[in-house]
Amino acid sequence: MNKAGLKIIIVGAGKIARTVVAQLVEEGHDLTVVDIDSAVVDEFTQEYDCMGVVGNGATYATLKEAGIASADLFIAVTQSDELNLLCCTIAKQFSDAATIARVRNPEYNREVGYLRNKLGLAMIINPELEASREIARILFLPTALEINSFAHGHAEMIKIRLPEGNMLEGKSIAFLGQKVTNEVLICAVERDGNLVIPHGDFVLMAGDIISFAATRKSCLSFLKQIGFTTKGVKDTMIVGGGIASYYLADQLIRSGISVRIIERDKAKCEFMSEALPKATLINGDATDRKLLLEAGLHNAQSFVPLTGIDEENIILALFAKDVSNAKLVTKITRITFTEVVDKLDLGSIVYPKFITSELILKYVRAKMGAKNSSSNIESLYHMFNSRAEALEFTVNSGSPVIGVPLKDLKLKKDVLIGFICHDDAIIIPSGNDMIQDGDSVMVVTTHHGFASIEDILS
């Protein structure tokens, strides 16, 4: 990143911190990681270009050593909700830094607005809640591998795998626009592990994983047109009775979807049974194939392993694939072996740590872009294991992109304008379309670190 970065302190050197630090260091920010475990802090400072402080992030002495007085942003992502809130409260006493806390407990989540306002937090992040929302979106449209929402829900980016014999096989992107529909835009294609932001002459092949953008209505119409079913699931089987399972089951039940939850811990089962009276709870070990089959896995429309162990989730998903036609959504916590995981057919894969890092990065980029008032960043999603990004900007008066036909904008290589949202109407743009003051614009790029709309220009 060519702009001066922010001074950021992160308390809690766990999995979330690792994902966030890797991204923020790459984008040129000044990072300090705080943790009580000296070995973990040493590991961070050796692996990343960041400072490390060993100590309790809820004490002034530790925060002073970390440089709290001059910090721009303070992020608390320890395992304890209460400690995260306390760290942020103390940080606010000694600095003007914006504060972000990870808070997972459903009881606190009901009071998230109150907590944010009373404690002066810039953001509360809840990885389990965000992951459950992503899983729910997929189960409402199970033929999709991934669904991301833009323009306050007016537009979506949907990822699918093109099957053998599909009508788009052997057809170019230009053919799609001329003969099938011009209401969707294919923004990225992965083939044999290689990612392409395609031009009109790009020819689609069976096995391609494609991401396309459009309104929800146009997305559904397009999927039907090319032979995909668009019906949501009517039931799901969830393995694991943790926080993510609670959030997901709650959303699905409220949408009229039947939910079965398998959990080996009796106390968790009893809690979930009370918290979710409409769910069916099964107390048992889901690694017992006999139990899964007796619970009705072979007839389940969807199957979501949400245990805290990646290997268990993977084995369960592979078994479900073998004995059923269920839509699979697999949660992966560690992100070290994404290339290996992607080669397994695990259905849709959800990485809570990526979702969390996207929320933090969006805030950081917005803070960077605030120095340039001609645009604000509204959404940020990583695509294809962070090899590309989809960003949404609101464009304000004074931006050099306003009033210029898109064909005349000098865009950087590997930058695609996916849509323009004008007065809540989604426009799949042609070269003659222009961005106007107040429009929001979605951009797909393999570049990283864009903080304002001007960054798309060469």
Domain boundary residue among 301, 334, 350? 350
What is the number of domains present in the chain? 4
Q: How confident is the model at residue 1 (pLDDT cuts 50, 70, 90)?
A: very low
Confidence of residue 325 (pLDDT cuts 50, 70, 90): very high
Q: What is the percent of the chain where pLDDT is above 90?
A: 76
- Per-residue model confidence as pLDDT tens digits over 168-222: 999 999 999 888 888 999 999 999 989 999 999 999 999 999 999 999 999 999 9
Q: Is residue 1 part of a domain?
A: no
Domain boundary among 105, 125, 145: 125
pLDDT of residue 177: 86
Per-residue pLDDT tens for 382-440? 898 889 999 999 998 889 999 999 999 999 999 999 999 999 899 999 889 999 999 99
- Residue 307 buriedness (CB in 10 A; 0-12 / 13-18 / 19+): buried
- How confident is the model over 150-154, as a mean pLDDT? 90
- Residue 372, pLDDT score: 58
Q: Stretch 96-110: mean pLDDT, rounded?
A: 92
Residues 140 and 95 in one domain: no
Strands (E) in 242-291, as ranges, are: 258-263, 280-283
Is 339 a residue whose pLDDT tops 90? no
Q: Do residues 291 and 239 make contact, with C-beta atoms less than 8 angstroms apart?
A: no
Whether the predicted pLDDT of 270 surpasses 90? yes
CATH of the domain at 90: 3.40.50.720
Reported pTM: 0.88
Confidence of residue 370 (pLDDT cuts 50, 70, 90): low
Last residue of a domain, one of 307, 327, 350: 350
- Whole domain around residue 327: which residue ranges? 235-350
* Pairing relationship of beta strands 209-214 and 194-196 according to DSSP bridges: unpaired
Specify if 44 maps to a domain. Answer: yes
What's the mean pLDDT when you consider all of the chain? 92
**Three-state secondary-structure class, residue 33:** strand
- Residue 230 inside a domain? The answer is no
Rounded Cα–Cα distance for residues 138 and 147 (Å): 6
* Tally of CB atoms within 10 A around 225: 13
CA distances from residue 143 to 170, 232, 329 in whole angstroms, order as listed: 21, 9, 11
